[in-house]
């Protein structure tokens, strides 16, 4: 039963998400933490952190970790399949339609309308995670410094992530 729930839950998230892994985070959290109650909010953040530093897409990594946590290897397979399958189906259909109707104004308008939604979903994820991870003076200083360095320099984001982690280990 848990295997089918994992497949259905991650299929739902994958089907109703647009814009990639970061845009999926609010939907993941609602499904995993609030609706299914498979993880606490803190455990969810830990899995996101692991999924972020693990090679591969964050949505797939997150699904794999949650699935494994809930039902072992078969759970990870079902959760990963659930999150990937909708994209494969939608991309297949959209590719066919795009090739057939690529010059049509309604299609161009639809894609233009979806872009702002993706920005909002990513912003929601940033706010949601930020309000739980930036909770004191030190974490505020680390986050603000990292943001300023990202905006004002050409520092590699991976290097910035590693440096922030080192600072976090030293401070906390």
Look at residue 17 and tell me whether its pLDDT is greater than 80: no
Q: What pLDDT, in 10s, does the model give residues 27-81?
A: 889 999 999 999 999 999 999 989 888 888 888 999 999 999 999 999 999 999 9
Look at residue 10 and tell me whether its pLDDT is greater than 90: yes
Residue spans per domain, the chain: 2-133, 134-172
Q: What pLDDT, in 10s, does the model give residues 71-114?
A: 999 999 999 999 999 989 988 997 898 888 888 888 888 888 88
Nearest alpha carbon to residue 143 among 118, 168, 122 = 168
Q: What is the pLDDT of residue 87?
A: 85
- pTM as predicted: 0.62
Report the alpha-carbon angle 55-9-97, nearest 5. Answer: 80
Question: Average of pLDDT values for 126-155?
Answer: 89
Helix (H/G/I), strand (E/B), else coil: 18: coil
Q: Measured between alpha carbons, how far is residue 118 from residues 54, 63, 154 in Å?
A: 23, 20, 25
């Amino acid at each position: 039963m848990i295997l089918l729930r994992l497949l259905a839950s991650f299929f739902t998230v994958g089907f109703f998400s647009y814009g990639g892994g970061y845009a999926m985070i609010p939907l993941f959290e609602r499904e995993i933490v609030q609706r299914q109650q498979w993880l606490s909010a803190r455990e969810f953040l830990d899995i996101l952190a692991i999924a972020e530093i693990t090679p591969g897409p964050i949505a797939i990594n997150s699904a794999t970790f949650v699935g494994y946590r809930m039902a072992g290897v078969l759970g990870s397979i079902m959760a990963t399949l659930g999150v990937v399958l909708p994209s494969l189906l939608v991309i297949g259909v959209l590719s066919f339609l795009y090739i057939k109707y690529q010059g049509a104004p309604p299609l161009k308008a639809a894609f233009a309308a979806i872009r702002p939604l993706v920005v909002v979903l990513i912003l929601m994820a940033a706010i949601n995670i930020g309000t739980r991870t930036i909770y004191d003076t030190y974490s505020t200083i680390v986050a603000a410094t990292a943001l300023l360095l990202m905006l004002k320099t050409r520092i590699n984001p991976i290097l910035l992530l590693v440096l922030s982690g080192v600072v976090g280990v030293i401070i906390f």
